[in-house]
C-alpha cells in the first residue's frame, strides 16, 4: 500500500526552502513537542499543503524519521533546513503557533519530521487540496494512494511530477527521478542526510553514549566510524553515539572501538598529553549496543578505524 501524509505548513517556510535548491533534506517541525509523528514509514511520501486560504499542495519529500528534540538541538542539527535563517527566528515561529511566549533561555521540545529528497512545485503546478481535506484539520491527514480520494491525489501528483514543474532542476533528485521514486516507494529511501543521520543514531542508541553511558543530550554527538570525507556514508551502522569529548578523541585516533565491540584507549593519549585517567578507566569495556542488532556498528568499519585512524 502506498501511503502519503498531507501536512499543513505556511508560505514563509515553503518559500524559504523552495529558494534553496541545495537543500535536499528538511525538518518539518511541529510546535507542540508532545506527540511523536507516527503516520508514515520510512520511504513514504509527505506532502506540503499551505495554510488556508491557499488550499494547495505545493511540494513534498520522503519520510525518513521523526523525533522529539529541544529546539536548540533541532537548530544545531538542521540549521536552515528548518525553513528559517536563525534559531531566534525558529523560536519566534514556534511560539507564534503555540500562542505563548517562553523565556529566552527555555529549551522547550518540538516535534521534528525529517524528510529526504524534497521537491517544490511551480505555482502553475500546485495541486488543489483533496476534496475531503477539511478546513478544520490542524496538522494534516493521511491517505492511501491506491484507493478513493488518495487515488485521485496520486493521479494529480503524477501530472505535476511529470510535467517538468519542479521549482529547481538542481536538486539531487531530478524531475524524472521524483516521478519514478513516487511510483516505487523503495526508491524513496535514498541516502540519509547529515541531519537525519544524527537523529537516527541518537534515537537508535536511546540517547545514551555507547561508551560512557552519559545521557545528557546536549553533549551527545553522532560520530561516523569512517568519515564521509574518507568514503564513509551516513548509515546507522557507520555511526556511534558518543559523548563529545570521546567523539573528539575517536576522530583523532586516541580511542577506538574494536571489531569485538570493546572500547580501547591508545597509549599515545598519555604520551602526548600526560593525562587521560578518565578514559583509561573505560579501556576494554564493552560498548552499549542498539536494541536492533541490524543497527549495530559495522565490524568492517570498526576494523578500518582501528587500522587507519587509531594511534599505536
| Same domain membership, residue 158 and residue 45 | yes
Q: Which of 150, 168, 188 is the last residue of a domain?
A: 188
Instruction: Show the domain range for 199.
Output: 194-308
Q: Is the pLDDT of residue 36 over 90?
A: yes
244-259 pLDDT, tens per residue? 999 999 999 999 999 9
CA 163-53-122 angle, to 5 degrees, is: 20
224 and 290 share one domain:
yes
Q: How far is CA 277 from CA 170, 214, 251, 267, 269, in A?
A: 51, 17, 19, 11, 10
What the block records as the C-alpha cell of 129 is 487540496
How many whole angstroms from its chain centre is CA 187? 17
Are residue 175 and residue 202 in the same domain, yes or no?
no
Answer yes or no: is pLDDT of 268 > 60: yes
| Total domains present in the chain | 2
pLDDT band at 24 (very low <50, low <70, confident <90, very high): confident
Q: How much is the mean pLDDT over the chain? A: 91
162 and 223 within one domain: no
Both 167 and 206 in one domain: the answer is no
Which among 201, 194, 198 is positioned nearest to 298, based on CA atoms?
201
Q: Are residues 213 and 155 in the same domain?
A: no
- Residue 144: helix, strand or coil by DSSP? strand
Regarding whether 283 and 244 lie in a shared domain, the answer is: yes
CATH number of the domain enclosing 88: 2.30.130.30
pLDDT at 175 over 50: no
What is the average per-residue pLDDT within 169-179?
45
Domain ends where: 154, 188, 222?
188
> CA 91: distance to chain centroid?
19
Are the CB atoms for 47 and 60 separated by under 8 Å?
A: yes
Is 71 in the same domain as 17?
A: yes
Q: Does 205 share its domain with 130?
A: no
Are 169 and 218 part of one and the same domain?
no
- pLDDT bracket for residue 181 (50, 70, 90): low
Q: Do residues 30 and 111 lie in contact, with contact meaning Cβ atoms separated by under 8 Å?
A: yes
**Residue 25's closest CA among 115, 143, 155?**
115
Q: Within this chain, do residues 86 and 208 fall inside the same structural domain, yes or no?
A: no
- The mean pLDDT of 172-194, rounded to a whole number, is 56
171 and 80 housed in the same domain: yes
Which of 156, 173, 188 is at the close of a domain?
188
Rounded distance between C-alpha atoms, residue 308 and residue 247, angstroms: 16
Amino acid at each position: 500500500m502506498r501511503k502519503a501524509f498531507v501536512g499543513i505548513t505556511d508560505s514563509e517556510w515553503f518559500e524559504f526552502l523552495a529558494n534553496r535548491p541545495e537543500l535536499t533534506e528538511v525538518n518539518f517541525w511541529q510546535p507542540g513537542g508532545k506527540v511523536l509523528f507516527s503516520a508514515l514509514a520510512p520511504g513514504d511520501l509527505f506532502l506540503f499543503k499551505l495554510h488556508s486560504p491557499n488550499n494547495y499542495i505545493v511540494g513534498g519529500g520522503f519520510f525518513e524519521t521523526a523525533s522529539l528534540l529541544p529546539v536548540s538541538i533541532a537548530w544545531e542539527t538542521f540549521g536552515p533546513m528548518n525553513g528559517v535563517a536563525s534559531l531566534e527566528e525558529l523560536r519566534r515561529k514556534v511560539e507564534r503557533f503555540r500562542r505563548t511566549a517562553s523565556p529566552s533561555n527555555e529549551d522547550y521540545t518540538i516535534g521534528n519530521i525529517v524528510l529526504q529528497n524534497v521537491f517544490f512545485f511551480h505555482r502553475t503546478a500546485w495541486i488543489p487540496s483533496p476534496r475531503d481535506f477539511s478546513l478544520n484539520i490542524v496538522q494534516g491527514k493521511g491517505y492511501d494512494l491506491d484507493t478513493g480520494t488518495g487515488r485521485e491525489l496520486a493521479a494529480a501528483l503524477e501530472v505535476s511530477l511529470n510535467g517538468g514543474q519542479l521549482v529547481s532542476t538542481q536538486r539531487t533528485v531530478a524531475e524524472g527521478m521524483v516521478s519514478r521514486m513516487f511510483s516505487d516507494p523503495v526508491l524513496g529511501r535514498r541516502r540519509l542526510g547529515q541531519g537525519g543521520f544524527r537523529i537516527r543514531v541518537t534515537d537508535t542508541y536511546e540517547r545514551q553514549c555507547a561508551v560512557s553511558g552519559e545521557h545528557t543530550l546536549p553533549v551527545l554527538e553522532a560520530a561516523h566510524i569512517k568519515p564521509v570525507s574518507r568514503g564513509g556514508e551516513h548509515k546507522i551502522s557507520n555511526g556511534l553515539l558518543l559523548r563529545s569529548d570521546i567523539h573528539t578523541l575517536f576522530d583523532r585516533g586516541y580511542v577506538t572501538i574494536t571489531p569485538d565491540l570493546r572500547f580501547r584507549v591508545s597509549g599515545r593519549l598519555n604520551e602526548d598529553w600526560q593525562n587521560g585517567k578518565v578514559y583509561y578507566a573505560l579501556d576494554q569495556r564493552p560498548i552499549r549496543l542498539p536494541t536492533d542488532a541490524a543497527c549495530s556498528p559495522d565490524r568492517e568499519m570498526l576494523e578500518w578505524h582501528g587500522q587507519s585512524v587509531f594511534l599505536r
